[in-house]
Structure 1
Amino acid sequence: MLFLLVLLIILPLLIIFFHKHKTHNPPGPKGLPIIGNLHQLDICNLHLQFSQFSKIYGPLFSLKLGFRKAIVVSSAEIAKQVLKNNDLIFSNRPIFYGQRKLSYNGSEIGFSQYGEFWREIRKICVVHILGSKRVSYYSSIRKFEVKKMIQKISGHATCSSVTNLSELLTSLSTTTICRIAFGKNYENQGNERSRFHGLFYELHALLKEFFVSDYIPFMGWIDKLRGLHGRVDTLFKEFDKFYQEIIDEHLDPNRQQIAEEEDIVDVLLQLKKNHSFPFHFTFDHIKAVLVDMLIAATDTTSATSVWAMTTLIKNPRVMKKVQEEIRNNMGVKKDFLEEDDIQNFPYLKAVIKEVLRLHLPAPLLVPRESREKCIISGYDIPPKTIVYVNAWAIQRDHNFWKNSEEFYPERFLESSINFTGQDFELIPFGAGRRICPGISMGVASLELTLANLLYSFDWTLPHGLVKEDIDTEVLPGISQHKKNPLCLVANIHI
């Protein structure tokens, strides 16, 4: 009798307790024990697969990735909740083995955890490296390298040969950032060129690798059997040696330097010498910042430039219209367009926005991680949850974008929507605290490159090809690169 009485008292309290503490998780596909949903994922095309999942489970759904929880955001409204309203809560980065190792334990902007260190290292980069003054300061390098590429294409045009634009634009991007960052150009240095490109390609190969240990720690031996840990360790040592050689060259009192070309290593070494930070700024911090420059600056600009020319050759109407704007607004014929000239080309800027809408550099942005529990759209999101923002799906959402799959730059001519992180329907560079700090640098290079390619040449397809033959397949990886090279014929515009 006493037992029943106690049960009658305790049972309602237990019901209230468990009801109160019951979590309301976002819906999502059912997974298996231990591995969760890992077996269901197509690592090469996650943004496409997540887009399909969102049609089934809604614009916010959850996944179980081994022992880690994840959510995927596929609408502008929910992206705003995550990247603006709860930006501080979602300001961390998930820790992944390869990224952590190669970024000197997150000693830079991209992969570091949110906190005092991140704020200081970001301030260094925004104020001293990526600010508007520095972007203007490096305009002469951008001009020189783009002009050199135009001259090279002119040589192809003279003999009517096919130009591999993918190769040229990748080389342009790499050469420009190497000069800005290191004060060196590796394109004409034989063995050094081979060494640099070998390191560069292995870096991108490893950053897109799947490490089992990131999701199921006790099965990390699989990564070792596959040789991934060995490859990461080897690459880290080789890159560390490469960066140290660059630093040593800059510290050499006998180094010959062009006075007006102070590169990023010069800037960082001067900051180190001044001891003006609340933490001990080391050579490893300098190396980590250079990793960011190589990953972000070279990859995204070259990929977007190739997609821009790909999309234009497949849309002759837009190609003709943007070329008419550039050529008719110039008045006097020039050999080369300056960055100041580009401010008079609203349609070109609309074209670039539309390219970034359809072919943004990182379709899933860079993943974030929640620092504490919060509620998004009525769902409980626990701490340590990985957050994927499917910007690719958001920027093709037919509920917002009319004819969302169509390449139609005119949609931006009468619109104030921009890609600076305030309009969550267009977030190719992210938003909030972790927005890409190199937007100005990247856009300046992209605009100058495209303007001069379109001003100097009339572009046609190689003999026998039609626009439908130009594919839009994508390579797997963090950035969305065109799978097959874009090869076109350039004819000098008279």
Structure 2
Amino acid sequence: MSLRLGGQIVVVASTPDVAKEIHKTNNRIFSGRFLPSVYYNVPGTMHASLVMARECNDTWKFLRAIGQNCIFSSKAIDSAAGIRTEKVTEMVEFLRANKDGKVVNIEDLVFATFTNIISNIMASRNLFDDGGESESDAKVMRFLNEEIIDKASTFGLTDVFPMLKGVDFWSKGRAMDMYRNIKSTWGDIIKERSTAKNDNSTNDLLDVLINGHGFPVDHIAILFTELLIAGTDSTTITAVWLMAELIKNQEILHQVRKEIANKAIIEGNKLNESLLSECQFFHAGIKETLRLHIPGPFAVPHRATETCIVNNYTIPKDSIVLVNGWAIQTDPNNWGEDAISFKPERFLNSIIDSRGTCFEYIPFSAGSRMCPGQNVALKGVQLVVASLVHYFDWSLPYGKDPSKLDLSDRFGTTLKKDKPLYLIPRPRENYIVG
């Protein structure tokens, strides 16, 4: 499908075959990104952008290599296991100490946990305290995340009429507001580390960028903002949807809980990431959640870097190209008549995975611009949700029937649950945390 927005052509692909043409056959041509001009008007984004970089140029390759070494590689993921365990333990202890029998906003809770995991990997510090409920400066971080997602996905006049670029003061004004917020959020943290003595180095990503490569403060702030958004938004959405599906489907919840408990017994009822990785039904539930509730229905838009033929159609240079992952992953032609049902068992003994090689299942996109942090995300969702269901019993407020939980979504740049998920925890007896 194609449509024209002013002078801009938009092409939408909604089948696995065409997705393969875009992500694999013509991957190089469609490796460009398209975002509204407001984001690229933020000073420094052209030199410090990884997730949203317009081109797979030398700067992108350089930042991708740093990210791979410090965050995305198997070695880096294994090295961060202690951070994940520590922050999830803090989440569980916060619930035990403060929320027994009280209503909890699951999105706020898991967002704070994922934020602290990512911020400790990047800069060895928490950004949230008190389970995300405190009125600290960290609230500004959440606002900034939402602001950037909103502004970076909202078309301005110049995006549909490029000839007006010279008088697009609206986009430039919004970009400067965003720039000031990014600097105010990360500036002091980066400057504090920059003035610290080298013998206090923590060897995290911030140290690598400052001491190893001499990155300017502005560039680090932009890169950190992108990584934090990428590392918290989709993981939070997935964890909330998974919890909602488990609460609604109590039989599946009991099966997941039993499987986790059987592995936890080996460690004295403590959760261990390596043992959790052996919980096949639980992981099938995570995969099914990503299928049915894909966090980014269209992912980050691609851009044709040159004119190309796809499926006998000509796609002009600089066209916006969207791959409708939501349509592909809920299409009965790909998944059967029960395509919109939550059935983790469909992934048991299945060769389908999320590595971008099975084009009927692309929750992290595919090709050279697919999400490099998918394994980081899966590890985080695994440990957070496993801890919530292993250490606590959950109920809906006012004694509502779990089977009637509203699973309506809000379709947009991301696919969030329409209504917040409020649940009441009760610590389970004889289950210790650590």
CA contact (8 A) 1:249 1:255 kept: no
The 1-side partners of 2:89 and 2:117 are apart by 12
The 1-side partners of 2:128 and 2:363 are apart by 30
Structure 2 counterpart SS, 1:348: helix
Q: Which of the numbers 59, 63, 67 marks the counterpart of 1:125?
A: 67
* Pairs within 5 Å for 1:296-445: 296-332=230-266, 334=268, 336-402=270-336, 403-445=338-380
Q: CA deviation at 1:223?
A: 7.1
The 2-side partners of 1:452 and 1:435 are apart by 28
Paired position in structure 2 for 1:11: none
The 2-side partners of 1:241 and 1:172 are apart by 22
Paired position in structure 2 for 1:161: 102
Paired position in structure 1 for 2:141: 196
Task: Identify which range, 84-93 or 174-183, moves more after superposition.
Answer: 174-183
| CA separation of 1:396 and 1:197: change in aligned 2, threshold 3 A | closer
Paired position in structure 2 for 1:57: none
Q: Deviations over 1:199-254 (max 9, x none)?
A: 34433332343322211235679975xx6643331221231243332221111235
The 2-side partners of 1:117 and 1:442 are apart by 24
Q: Deviations over 1:230-284 (max 9, x none)?
A: 3331221231243332221111235895x6x5332112223305xxxxxxx5444
The 2-side partners of 1:222 and 1:371 are apart by 25
Structure 1 counterpart SS, 2:2: strand
**Is residue 2:12 matched to residue 1:72?**
yes
| CA separation of 1:161 and 1:435: change in aligned 2, threshold 3 A | same
Paired position in structure 1 for 2:432: none
Q: CA deviation at 1:471?
A: 2.3
- The total of aligned residue pairs comes to 422
| CA separation of 1:422 and 1:265: change in aligned 2, threshold 3 A | same
Q: CA deviation at 1:325?
A: 0.9
The 2-side partners of 1:94 and 1:228 are apart by 15
The 1-side partners of 2:248 and 2:312 are apart by 43
Q: CA deviation at 1:129?
A: 2.9
CA contact (8 A) 2:91 2:113 kept: yes
Give me the CA root mean square deviation: 2.5
* Pairs within 5 Å for 1:20-31: none
Amino acid at match of 2:407: T
**Is residue 2:113 matched to residue 1:172?**
yes
Q: Deviations over 1:287-338 (max 9, x none)?
A: 3321221220111111111011011111112111111111123335735302
* Pairs within 5 Å for 1:40-79: 61-79=1-19
**Is residue 2:175 matched to residue 1:232?**
yes
TM (normalized to structure 1)? 0.79
The 2-side partners of 1:355 and 1:223 are apart by 41
The 2-side partners of 1:216 and 1:359 are apart by 34
Q: Which of the numbers 471, 476, 488 marks the counterpart of 2:406?
A: 471
The 2-side partners of 1:477 and 1:400 are apart by 23
**Is residue 2:153 matched to residue 1:211?**
no
CA contact (8 A) 1:79 1:424 kept: yes
CA contact (8 A) 1:207 1:477 kept: no
Amino acid at match of 1:252: T
- In our comparison, the structure showing a higher alpha carbon Rg is 1
Paired position in structure 2 for 1:86: 26
CA contact (8 A) 1:75 1:394 kept: yes
CA contact (8 A) 1:207 1:478 kept: no
Q: Which of the numbers 90, 93, 114 marks the counterpart of 1:148?
A: 90
Amino acid at match of 2:147: E
* Structure 2: gaps (5+ residues): 430-434
Amino acid at match of 1:478: T
The 2-side partners of 1:208 and 1:391 are apart by 17
Structure 2 counterpart SS, 1:129: helix
Structure 1 counterpart SS, 2:332: coil
The 1-side partners of 2:250 and 2:83 are apart by 31
* Structure 1: gaps (5+ residues): 1-60, 274-280
Q: Which of the numbers 427, 447, 460 marks the counterpart of 2:395?
A: 460
Amino acid at match of 1:235: M
The 2-side partners of 1:476 and 1:393 are apart by 12
Q: CA deviation at 1:111?
A: 1.8
CA contact (8 A) 1:104 1:288 kept: yes
Q: CA deviation at 1:419?
A: 0.5
The 2-side partners of 1:103 and 1:395 are apart by 37
TM (normalized to structure 2)? 0.90
The 2-side partners of 1:157 and 1:251 are apart by 39
Structure 2 counterpart SS, 1:478: coil
* Pairs within 5 Å for 1:224-263: 224=169, 229-254=172-197, 257=200, 261-263=202-204
Amino acid at match of 1:242: T
Q: CA deviation at 1:171?
A: 1.3
CA contact (8 A) 1:157 1:492 kept: no
The 1-side partners of 2:405 and 2:163 are apart by 45
Matched-pair identity in %: 32
Q: CA deviation at 1:157?
A: 5.8
CA contact (8 A) 1:212 1:222 kept: no
Amino acid at match of 2:18: I
Q: CA deviation at 1:118?
A: 2.1
The 1-side partners of 2:78 and 2:219 are apart by 25
CA contact (8 A) 1:103 1:291 kept: no
CA contact (8 A) 2:38 2:174 kept: no
The 2-side partners of 1:297 and 1:102 are apart by 21
